[in-house]
Amino acid sequence: MNPPKPSRGPEPAPVPDGPALTPITRDHARARTSDRVYDELVSAIRELRIAPGASLSETDLARRLHVSRTPVREALARLVDAELVHVVPQVGTRVGLIRLRDVEEARFVRESLEVAAFEMACSVPQPDVTVLRELLERQEHSYRTEDFDAFFTADEALHCEIFTLSGYPKAWQAVQRMKLQLDRLRRLSLPDSAAMRELIDEHRLIVDALEQTDLPAGRALISRHARRALERGPALRSEYPGYFTD
- How big is the CA angle at 19 (ends 173 and 17), to the nearest 5 degrees? 120
Q: Hey, is 18 helix, strand or coil?
A: coil
Q: Read off the pLDDT of residues 116-159 as tens digits, 9 standing for 90 and up.
A: 999 999 998 899 999 999 999 999 999 999 999 999 999 999 99
**Whether pLDDT at 2 is above 90:** no
Beta strands in 96-188 (DSSP E): 98-99
**Whether pLDDT at 8 is above 70:** no
pLDDT category, 18, cuts 50, 70, 90? very low
Q: 217 CB contacts (<8 Å, ≥6 apart)?
A: 205, 209
Q: Read off the pLDDT of residues 148-158 as tens digits, 9 standing for 90 and up.
A: 999 999 999 99
pLDDT category, 25, cuts 50, 70, 90? confident
Tell whether pTM > 0.85. Answer: no
Q: What span, in angstroms and rounded, lies between the C-alpha atoms of 143 and 154?
A: 11
User: Contact, 207 vs 122, CB < 8 A?
Assistant: no
Pick from 155, 142, 235: nearest CA to 188: 235
Q: Read off the pLDDT of residues 157-175 as tens digits, 9 standing for 90 and up.
A: 999 999 999 999 999 999 9
